[in-house]
Structure 1
Amino acid sequence: MLESIKKYAKPFDSINDLDPLIESIGDAKYVLLGESSHGTSEFYTLRAELTKRLIVEKGFSFIAVEGDWPSCQNINRYIKNIGSPNRNENEVLQTFNRWPTWMWANEEIYELVKWLKNFNQQSKKTNKVGFYGLDVYSLWESMDEIIKYLDRTGNSGLKEARTAFSCFEPYNRNNESYAVSAGYLSENCIKEALELLTVIRKNKWKYDDDDENSLNMEVNSLVTVNAEEYYRTMVLSDSKSWNMRDIHMVEALNAVMKFYGDDAKVIIWEHNTHVGDARATDMKNAGMVNVGQLIRQQNYPEDVYIVGFGTHSGTVIASTEWGVDYLVTNVPAAQPGSWEDLMHKAGARNQYLLFTDENREKFSKTVGHRAIGVVYRPEQEQYGNYVPSIMSSRYDGFIFVDKTHALHPLAKESLVH
Structure 2
Amino acid sequence: MINNIFPCAAQTNRDSIYTIDANLKELITDISSKKIIALGESTHGTKEFTLVRADIVKSLVTQFGFNTFILEADYMPCMAINEFILTGKGDPETLLLNVRLWPWIHQDFLELIIWMKDYNQLHPSEKVQFFGMDSQYSKIYATKEIMFQKYPEKAQAIFDIVEGQEKRNKKIKMLRALSEQTTSISFAIDLEWQYFILCQINKLAQLPPKDYNARDENMARMVELIQLKQGVDTKMMIWSHNEHINKKGSSLQDRTGMGHYLSVNHPDDFVSIAMDFKEGSFMAINFEDKSVHKPESFHLKPFETTFASGLNFKNKDINIIDCKDIDKEVLNAIGAIYVHAPKKGDNYYTKIKGNKSFDYLIIIEKSTPIRILLTYGFK
Bin the TM-score by the shorter chain: 0.7 to 0.9
2:274–2:360 CA contact under 8 A, matched in 1: yes
Partner of 2:326: 363
Match of 1:291 among 258, 265, 272: 258
Partner of 1:220: 196
Structure 1 residues 190 and 24: alpha-carbon distance in aligned structure 2, compared to 1, 3 A threshold: same
1:64–1:133 CA contact under 8 A, matched in 2: yes
Partner of 1:16: 20
Partner of 1:393: 356
For structure 2, the residue ranges without an aligned partner over 5 or more in a row are: 1-15
User: 2:153 corresponds to which letter in structure 1?
Assistant: S
RMSD in angstroms over aligned alpha carbons? 3.5
Q: Does 1:45 align with 2:51?
A: yes
Structure 1 residues 125 and 149: alpha-carbon distance in aligned structure 2, compared to 1, 3 A threshold: farther
For structure 1, the residue ranges without an aligned partner over 5 or more in a row are: 1-11, 169-181
Q: Does 1:93 align with 2:60?
A: no
Deviation at 1:406, TM superposition (A): 0.6
Partner of 1:236: 209
Q: Does 1:78 align with 2:75?
A: no
Partner of 2:12: none
1:164–1:193 CA contact under 8 A, matched in 2: no
Partner of 1:350: 317
Post-superposition Cα deviations, 1:68-122, rounded to whole Å, max 9, x if no partner, equal 11121221122123xxx8522122112123xxx3112211221111111112222
Paired positions, count: 358
Match of 1:67 among 73, 81, 85: 73
User: 1:350 corresponds to which letter in structure 2?
Assistant: D
Match of 1:380 among 336, 342, 359: 342
2:175–2:197 CA contact under 8 A, matched in 1: no
Higher Cα radius of gyration = 1
2:179–2:194 CA contact under 8 A, matched in 1: no
Q: Distance in 1 between matches of 2:44 and 2:152?
A: 39
Q: Distance in 1 between matches of 2:159 and 2:315?
A: 58
Q: Does 1:255 align with 2:222?
A: no
Structure 1 residues 58 and 271: alpha-carbon distance in aligned structure 2, compared to 1, 3 A threshold: same
Partner of 2:61: 55
Deviation at 1:290, TM superposition (A): 1.2
Match of 2:296 among 328, 331, 340: 328
Q: Distance in 1 between matches of 2:149 and 2:184?
A: 16
Q: Distance in 1 between matches of 2:357 and 2:159?
A: 43
Q: Distance in 2 between matches of 1:65 and 1:25?
A: 19
SS in 2 for 1:27: coil
SS in 1 for 2:99: coil
Q: Distance in 2 between matches of 1:391 and 1:28?
A: 20
Post-superposition Cα deviations, 1:163-214, rounded to whole Å, max 9, x if no partner, equal 789x59xxxxxxxxxxxxx9xxx99797599579849955999x96xxxx92
Partner of 1:123: 123
Higher helix proportion, which one? 1
1:313–1:332 CA contact under 8 A, matched in 2: yes
Structure 1 residues 259 and 354: alpha-carbon distance in aligned structure 2, compared to 1, 3 A threshold: same
Higher strand proportion, which one? 2
User: 1:328 corresponds to which letter in structure 2?
Assistant: E
Match of 2:280 among 314, 325, 330: 314
SS in 2 for 1:319: strand
1:39–1:316 CA contact under 8 A, matched in 2: yes
Q: Does 1:339 align with 2:307?
A: yes
